[in-house]
């Protein structure tokens, strides 16, 4: 049976992906796995916003996004991060193609709460047929975390949430949420497994805080909606913390 694997990588990862990462991708492909990459780009967006004097404001870990902010976000993700990633894949002999929300209505979304977050969205539809068509051409789709609303408004989407939505709609077997740590740490030790009950216990006792909270919530959402295994780790060569039901 063909495995479907979704991997979310951070925006700075384009320059940090190791040979082992690409060897793992190629090994999976030899086993006929179908792979999707979803990339972030927060640092690039912040840097470009600073250069263009656009205020940077985060609420509950989510970047408040004006219309001008959306234009800058598109410039960073589609003009800097995605081309660099595609080039990294090419240099490592993995055929990839860049996609975004405008690619045949790939990601359709709605505004979360415009008064609070501006043009930040949640994905409610994924054109899975387009992804299957890309796979048939033996290409790895590399997807930016943006969506377009039904009335044509571009929306900024948290990359973990975008990867989770894509994994859910594809009914993926594996979802890797790559981060800068090798898993969820408790008292200095990496948890091998995390259940919804354990996650709630760790959040209510403030052991899990900050950016790890939306990552874990995305992971739990994914497994509850049919994704078999979700890994929170810093590399595809290590399982990290596996989130299960």
Report long-range pairs for 42-46 (Cβ below 8 Å, ≥24 apart): 42/10, 42/11, 42/159, 43/11, 43/12, 44/11, 44/12, 44/76, 44/77, 44/80, 44/81, 45/11, 45/72, 45/73, 45/76, 45/77
CA atoms within 13 A of residue 19's CA, in its CB half-sphere: 0
CA distance 225 to 104: 25
CB distance 140 to 24 below 8 Å: no
Integer angstrom CA distances of residue 112 from 30, 121, 155: 40, 5, 9
Residue 160 annotated in active site: yes
Catalytic residue among 10, 40, 109, 160: 160
State the binding site for substrate.
41-42, 63, 156
Annotated binding residues, written as ranges, equal 41-42, 63, 156
Q: Is there a contact between 141 and 131 (Cβ–Cβ < 8 Å)?
A: yes
- Tell me which of 4, 10, 40, 42 is the catalytic residue: 42
Catalytic residue, chosen from 4, 74, 168, 215, is: 215
Q: Where are the alpha helices (DSSP H) in 77-140?
A: 82-91, 114-117, 128-136
Q: Give catalytic status of residue 8 as yes or no.
A: yes
Question: Smallest Cα–Cα separation from 140: which of 1, 238, 4, 236?
Answer: 4
Which residue's entry shows tokens 């995605």?
82
Helix (H), strand (E) at residue 5:
strand 4-9
Q: How far apart are CA 238 and CA 234, in angstroms?
A: 8
Catalytic choice (4, 10, 11, 173): 11
Q: Is 198 a catalytic residue?
A: no
Q: Considering the candidates 8, 10, 183, 240, report the single residue annotated as catalytic.
A: 8
| Residues recognised as catalytic | 8, 11, 42, 160, 215
């Amino acid at each position: 049976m063909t495995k479907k694997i979704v991997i979310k990588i951070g925006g700075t990862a384009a320059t940090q992906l190791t040979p082992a990462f690409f060897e793992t991708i190629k090994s999976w492909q030899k086993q006929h796995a179908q792979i999707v990459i979803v990339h972030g780009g927060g640092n690039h967006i912040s840097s470009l916003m600073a250069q263009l004097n656009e205020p940077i404001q985060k609420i509950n870990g989510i970047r408040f996004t004006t219309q001008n902010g959306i234009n800058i976000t598109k410039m960073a993700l589609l003009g800097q991060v995605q081309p660099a990633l595609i080039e990294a894949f090419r240099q490592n002999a993995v055929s990839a193609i860049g996609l975004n929300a405008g690619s045949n209505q790939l990601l359709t979304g709605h505004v979360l709460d415009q008064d609070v977050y501006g043009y930040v969205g949640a994905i409610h539809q994924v054109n899975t047929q387009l992804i299957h068509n890309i796979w048939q051409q033996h290409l790895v789709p590399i997807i930016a975390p943006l969506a377009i609303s039904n009335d044509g408004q571009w929306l900024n989407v948290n990359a973990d949430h975008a990867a989770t939505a894509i994994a859910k709609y594809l009914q993926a077997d594996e979802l890797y949420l790559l981060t800068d740590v090798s898993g969820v740490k408790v008292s200095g030790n990496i948890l091998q497994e995390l259940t919804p009950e354990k996650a709630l216990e760790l959040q209510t006792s403030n052991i899990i805080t900050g950016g790890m909270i939306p990552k874990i919530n995305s992971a739990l959402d994914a497994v509850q909606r049919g994704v078999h295994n979700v890994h929170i780790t810093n590399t595809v060569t290590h399982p990290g913390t596996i989130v299960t039901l």
